[in-house]
Structure 1
Amino acid sequence: MRAVVFERYGELAGVREVPDPGPAPGGVVVRVEATGLCRSDWHGWMGHDPDIVLPHVPGHELAGVVEAVGPAVTAWQPGDRVTVPFVCACGSCADCAAGQHQVCASQTQPGFTHWGSFAEYVALDHADVNLVAVPEDVSFATAAGLGCRFATAFRAVIARGRVAPGEWVAVHGCGGVGLSAVMIAAAAGARVIAVDTAPGALELARAFGAAACVNAADAGPGGTAGAVRELSGGGAHLSLDALGSPATAAASVAGLRRRGRHVQVGLLPAAAGPAVLPMDRVIGWELEVLGSHGMAAHAYPPMLELVRSGTLRPDLLVTSLIGLEAAPAALAAMGSVVGAGVTVILPSSP
């Protein structure tokens, strides 16, 4: 098969032919029809993830068609349209037994613990636990983002953030996760303040339902936290760091009102340095500081129903479609080029 492969961290990847994967006894091989280009992939390419072994094929947001199944798989067969959470759970540990697959201690992640979906085919583990059926009326390009960015934002806003109608919600960072969070929070009836440095990203945030936008590059002496507090009349009820940096994490907490809730969604790699949060305010104002790490496959149906009904429109997040040959340069550019929306790779395209 053709795949995007990098041999060294931070050096441009290339497209080459590598052996086709085979299914594990309880796993499947999926023919990749679409795969999202995510900032997490960039972190992996930069060497920020200790699980990656070189040479490596990145990619963890995917949708496609089951090509082959292992002998222990009972729920899936070749030809099924599927997607998968970026956390593939084992299905048998204590956390999985409690339904918390997204924090499975024995999890695998395509594109991190093993070769991923920037390829024509990808192997996925524990298929009966992790695969999600993609409805015929949902395109592969739309479904690709459901495995990471959109599902992650959905759980962060709805389950972890416990958003309520009429609340003020601040979203720091309007990349794929952040724009998804804006759309989801607005659909839930919240008043959303979008924060970013890219005018194009803020324009999309407004189109997806943001009530106000803050350009962090010119937020004034009070910074983005001060701007959020002013716009919301005292601070956000819920705030999300969807970028993942010490500065945005601290600003997210500082922009909350009393008894507000911060949800950390963006990755905070060690290379970025420690995130120093105002813990005195966390104590004095009884703030909640929460983490959110993807969403288990069994939790997808309510989200998919909102997608099918048109209440949520993840298809609108997709602003660029590229082939495998363009993927190495696009991956490298994520560290320096400010984009708007989501880029999706179509491995079968020339």
Structure 2
Amino acid sequence: MKSVVIEQPNQLTVADRPLPQPAAGEVRVKVKLAGICGSDSHIYRGHNPFAKYPRVIGHEFYGHIDAVGEGVSPSRLGERVSVDPVISCGHCYPCSIGKPNVCTELVVLGVHRDGGFSEYAAVPARNAWKIPETIADEHAVMVEPFTIAANVTGQAQPTENDIALIYGAGPMGLTTLQALKGVYKVKQVIVADRIDERLAMARNSGADWVINNSQRPLQETLAEKGIKPTLIVDAACHPSILQEAIALASPAARIVIMGFSSEPSQIIQQGITGKELSIFSSRLNANKFPVVIDWLARGLIDPGKLVTHKFDYQHVTDAIELFEKDQRQCCKVLLTFN
């Protein structure tokens, strides 16, 4: 079989690999579609501290089960499945309180273990979630990105009366926007970004107000309308954003940080305690696949609005380079297999 392998930073090959045989408790997935994420690019470029090489990247993938390991019912053969890349131990403290996404022995497909940019992938059976026939293939492959939004909103618990502000109209900001509008029915969602084309995507995904904050401080723009957000989601993840969010926030607001920046953020503690703000962080997803599959089945979100490009997996280098360089026209890029 063919697999997309990062041999070492900046060295990608489409290599012949042995067909994997599912171990006990595993299934083999014949991959049909996979999505490119920023973390795939980071591994390719050597910027992910958790990755070890060589590595088959890809943690957003969908296909059907074509083989099962010992202990897995043969009735699962042929199932259409989307794969949760989070593999956890199930017994450490984070796992015991429902946070397998920060398991002390966390393994992420495509990062710590070979992932889904491959014609076939062996994965734990419990991580392969059945997709109803009513959900299209191109929506099924987008389950994982939307689980990030489900994780964010699950922590922040939005209400219809929130005034929400999202920093960043990239894939993570847009999935969160769709969750806030489509699932939680938040009446006012504002999206700030520095790229007009991305803001147009946000408007298309339901944003009530989009702001290009490249020319004028966001604080001035919001102050003109007397707006103090009650929920702020940082999906842009620049170190300067946290302090600005603290300053912008309404008293008793919630702030969610989605990023992995290693640069320090300088914050004024009084701004947090003076308003009694709640600050959350969110990594990956904690058992959110069934949540998002339900959202899709009920038509509450529309992943198709995020998909801008598709490539055959043989052209993965071109696909990743487009994803990295064209932030104006490119949002979600899918790879096709088989």
Return the TM-score normalized by structure 1: 0.88
- CA–CA distance in structure 2, aligned partners of residues 229 and 185 of structure 1: 23
When structure 1 is superposed on structure 2, of 173-182 and 101-110 the one drifting more is 101-110
Residue number in structure 1 paired with 2:174:
179
2:338 is aligned with 1:343: no
Q: Is the 8 A contact 1:12 1:332 kept in 2?
A: no
Structure 1 counterpart of 2:336, which letter? L
Per the TM alignment, residue 225 of structure 1 is displaced from its structure 2 partner at its CA by 4.2
What is aligned with 1:58? Answer: 57
Give the total of aligned pairs. Answer: 335
Change in Cα spacing, 1:251 to 1:74, as seen in structure 2 (3 Å) is farther
Determine whether 1:287 maps to 2:292.
no
Deviation at 1:103, TM superposition (A): 2.3
Q: Tell whether the 8 Å contact from 1:35 to 1:141 is kept in structure 2 after alignment.
A: no
Q: Which residue identity does 1:112 align to in structure 2?
A: V
Unaligned ranges ≥5, structure 2: none
More displaced stretch, 87-96 vs 20-29: 87-96
Identity of aligned residues (%): 27
TM-superposition CA deviations, 1:183-229 (whole Å, max 9, x none): 111222221111112212111111111111111322x1xx2344345
The SS at the match of 1:319 is: strand
Match of 2:249 among 256, 260, 265: 256
Displacement after TM superposition at 1:333 (Å): 4.2
Cα contact 1:40–1:267 (8 A) shared by 2: no
- Residue 3 of structure 2 is matched in structure 1 by 3
- Stretch of structure 1 that moved more, 338-347 or 86-95: 86-95
Q: Decide which of 310, 313, 332 is 2:302's aligned counterpart.
A: 313
Deviation at 1:165, TM superposition (A): 0.3
Q: 1:131 to 1:194 in 2, by over 3 A?
A: same
Q: 1:323 to 1:254 in 2, by over 3 A?
A: farther
Q: 1:227 aligns with which of 221, 224, 240?
A: 221
- 1:199 and 2:193 are equivalent in the alignment: no
Q: Encode CA deviations 1:136-171: one digit per residue, 9 max, x unaligned.
A: 121222111212x211112212x1111110211111
Compute the displacement of 1:12 (Å).
4.9
Stretches of structure 1 that go unaligned for 5 or more consecutive residues are none
- Equivalence for 1:39: 38
**TM-superposition CA deviations, 1:248-290 (whole Å, max 9, x none):** 444333331111111112332x3xx223334331122111110
Give, in whole Å, the separation in 1 of the partners of 2:114 and 2:204: 36
Cα-to-partner distance string for 1:86-131 (whole Å, 9 max, x where unaligned): 3222334443343332222222211100111111112223x22x22
SS in 1 for 2:7: coil
What is the aligned-residue RMSD (CA, Å)?
2.2
